[in-house]
Chain A
Amino acid sequence: MKLKLDKKELASFLQSLIDRSDLYAPVKLAEGVSVYKKIERSEEVDLTLLNPQKPMKEVFLPQSEVMFRYEKVGKQNQISSMEEVKRERVIFGARPCDIEAIALIDEAYLGKECTDVYFLNKRQATTVIGMACNHPLSTCFCLSTGGGPFVRKGSDLFFIDLGEAYLVELLTEKGRAFREEKFFKEADPKDLALAKEIEEKASEKVDSSIPVEGIEKKLDVMMESPFWDQIHEKCIGCGVCTYLCPTCHCFDITDEGLRDCGQRIRNWDSCLSTLYSQETSGHNPRPTGRERTRQRVMHKFNYFPKNFNRIACVGCGRCILYCPVNFDIRQAIKDIQKG
């Protein structure tokens, strides 16, 4: 059954979500800058940017997250874990690339080897409302990486902007719980036809020509290639591409506090920073930008596929858009394929 939500009812629908859960959606922080944040009032939601700068992974893997707190009470040490998620969560307005990226982080965090309970609890408590990309950007290449602007996979509900209303698809158990939602009405065939038309137009705009096929094999023999000597040169070693990447999922743990109380936190970390691989002795196995850039590319296009059978890039284009020196991963992929 396909439903629709009149845009006039959107605010009320969002408010109803806020009433029964913690709602996360894109929020504008400044002109042209937005992030996913917990919403207090429905009017905070801002969908004008196709994708917020910081990806949706932040809802499941916050940039800075308290793992536990400790306190000395009398002679006892009390530790309280922060892993529990107390309230159901809903994400509204996430794009297919960001949603696909979470499935990818699932592989590492909820895989055979280990389970990250902080991530898992948030995953289980969250309903994802995906939003189709009617107007992909020229830097989008999700169709090259196995995704697409209308890919429903990973969404519990899927919204398609029809202009005056959203077409609403209920896709999973969590999604079907919205069957009786009072703000949703039945969609008519005209809406379905319009949605199809929008989908076709959008898909035409996305670059499907970025040659990721077989890149893992190419990289197998490139560990000591002179390619890395050149490609890293312009990289200034900041964390923009890794922090804004929806699939990057490395973190660093630190303790903050005094003798009697404090907390253990984990923060996003970036393989492009010197400190990432610096060992206690002072030795750094990735001493220059060459090794660090190689690590970024290798992890996405060689190590990850080896472990999980797919590349760790969803083609969102953020690293291209926001790199201070215009390092373009599309060009890197093409150059690697040229050999």
Chain B
Amino acid sequence: MIQQKIREIARELLTKKEVDLIIGFGEGTLPLRATPVFIRTPEEADRLIWNSFCDNNLATYLHKFSRFKVGLVVKGCDARAVTALALEKRFKPDQLILIGVPCQRMVDRKKVKKAVKGEILQAHEEADILFIRGDGFETQLRREDFLYTSCQVCTHRTPTQTNVLAGEPVEEHPLLKTHPEVNEFEKKSPEERWKFFEKETSRCIRCYACREACPMCYCTECFVDSSKPKWIGKGLAPSDLEFYHMVRAYHQTGRCSACGACERACPMEIRLTYLTQKLNQEVKERFDFEAGIDRDAPPPLSTFETEDKQEFIK
């Protein structure tokens, strides 16, 4: 069982003092939720859990713990972010031990909440069934029907470049061949695309949860926070909201590991992955590159060669 294995690995790493702390998932305080935990002693290792609600990308904590030797629990997408960060020299290779978990694809709690009437009070999963108990109702749902879209299209569920795997590698087949929201977006005319983008960003409250949840957003000073020069207004003017989301998405081009953490973090349920995933697809088509797969290949938009291979640039 994966959870048991994670605990064993964590206990051993801590006992042998190979790491200062383990960053993994623990039991959340709400149904359908897990929460990041920071484990420092072998005795505490039993707080670590594994289920379909471990949806955060814990690689975002690496910036905060850059002075420590960290054992990090990673899914396939999280491991990709770590590899991409390693390429950007965010940490020394020996300060990190990756505990890889072949991912069963995560459950989108917002989808579950919308599928039932009333508040969910308790939830647990057994095999492929979600058992939901709420205020005056009880129901069973098929796990597969409530997965995050980013998980449905995932082809990198087994983490790579890890030190240890807490389970058998899984078969890499996507449940959906292409991202449905990207498809829909592509079908739109430029005007319709703008309208859609405008409508989604108009809900933004500038809490920057998307930025903070993303491991790849680590600039010492984000362009939105700069006052000299001031790149962007600080209020809720539509042009400023749009500018923020556009630059955020473009800054991820060729760096995004498609984990979906940005969208999961948004309290206003702004759709964000149609943009990042669309850019990911463009990068794949044009440069045959996916972020965080090859630890020696730098992101195409961060490098310059006089002999570019790609015809479309010449």
Chain A residues proximal to chain B, CB less than 8 Å: 29-33, 53-54, 63-64, 135, 137-139, 230, 233-234, 236-240, 243-244, 252, 254, 256, 265, 267, 270, 273-275, 289, 320-322, 324-328, 330-331
Is B38 in contact with A30, judged by CB distance below 8 angstroms? no
Complex contact B35–A326 (CB within 8 A): yes
Contact with A along B195-218 (1 / 0, CB 8 A): 000000011011111011100000
Give chain B's interface residues, CB within 8 Å of chain A. Answer: 28-30, 33-38, 56, 60-61, 64, 110, 113-114, 119, 121, 135, 202-203, 205-209, 211-213, 225, 233-237, 264-265, 267-269
Knowing A29-B203, A64-B236, the reply to whether A236 touches B212 (Cβ < 8 A) is: yes
Q: Is the interface of B mostly helix, strand, loop or mixed?
A: loop
Q: Which residues of A contact B60 (CB under 8 A)?
A: 236
Closest to B33 in A: A326
The 4 A-B pairs with the shortest beta carbon distances in the complex, nearest first, are A64-B235, A324-B265, A239-B207, A238-B209
With a cutoff of 8 Å between Cβ atoms, the chain A residues found around residue B236 in the complex are: 63-64, 267
Q: Which of B203, B208, B267 contacts A322 (CB 8 A)?
A: B267
* A240 CA / B206 CA spacing, docked (Å): 9
In the complex, chain A residues whose CB is within 8 Å of the CB of B264? 324
Contact across chains for B28 and A326 when beta carbons are under 8 A apart: yes
CB distance from B135 to the nearest CB of A (A): 8
Cβ-defined contact, B268 with A29, below 8 A: yes
Docked-complex contact B28 and A243, CB < 8 angstroms:
no
Indicate whether A238 sits within 8 Å of B213 (C-beta atoms), given known contacts A265-B234, A320-B30.
Answer: yes
Task: Give complex CA distance A239, B114 in Å.
Answer: 25
Q: Are B267 and A331 in contact (CB under 8 A)?
A: no
A334 to B235, CA, bound (A): 36
In contact, A239 and B209 (Cβ under 8 angstroms): yes
Residues of the B chain whose Cβ atoms lie less than 8 Å from the Cβ of A31: 114, 269
Across the interface, which residues of A come within 8 angstroms of B34, CB to CB? 326
Complex contacts, A30 vs chain B, CB 8 Å: 203, 268-269
Report the Cα distance A267→B267, complex, angstroms: 19
User: 21 A-B contacts, Cβ less than 8 Å apart?
Assistant: A63-B205, A64-B234, A64-B237, A135-B119, A137-B119, A233-B38, A233-B61, A236-B61, A239-B205, A239-B206, A239-B209, A240-B265, A243-B205, A254-B235, A267-B206, A267-B235, A274-B225, A320-B30, A324-B265, A325-B56, A326-B35
CB-based contact B209/A236 at 8 Å: yes
A328 engages B208 (CB within 8 Å): no
Does the CB pair A234–B29 fall under 8 Å? no
**B-chain residues with CB within 8 Å of residue A254 when the two chains form the complex:** 233-235
Bound CA–CA A230/B37 (angstroms): 10
Instruction: Verify A256–B268 contact, CB threshold 8 A.
Output: no
Please tell me if the beta carbons of A237 and B29 are within 8 angstroms of each other in the complex. no
The answer for the CA separation of A240 and B269 in the assembled complex, in Å, is 12
Q: Is there an interface contact between B203 and A240, defined as CB atoms closer than 8 Å?
A: no
Contact A252:B234 (CB < 8 A) given known A32-B110, A53-B268, A137-B119: yes
B267 adjacent to A244 (CB under 8 Å):
yes
> Are A267 and B234 within 8 A (Cβ)?
yes
Closest to A230 in B: B38
Query: In whole Å, how far is B210's beta carbon from the nearest beta carbon of chain A?
Result: 8
Closest to B271 in A: A30
| Closest beta carbon of chain B to A318's beta carbon, Å | 8
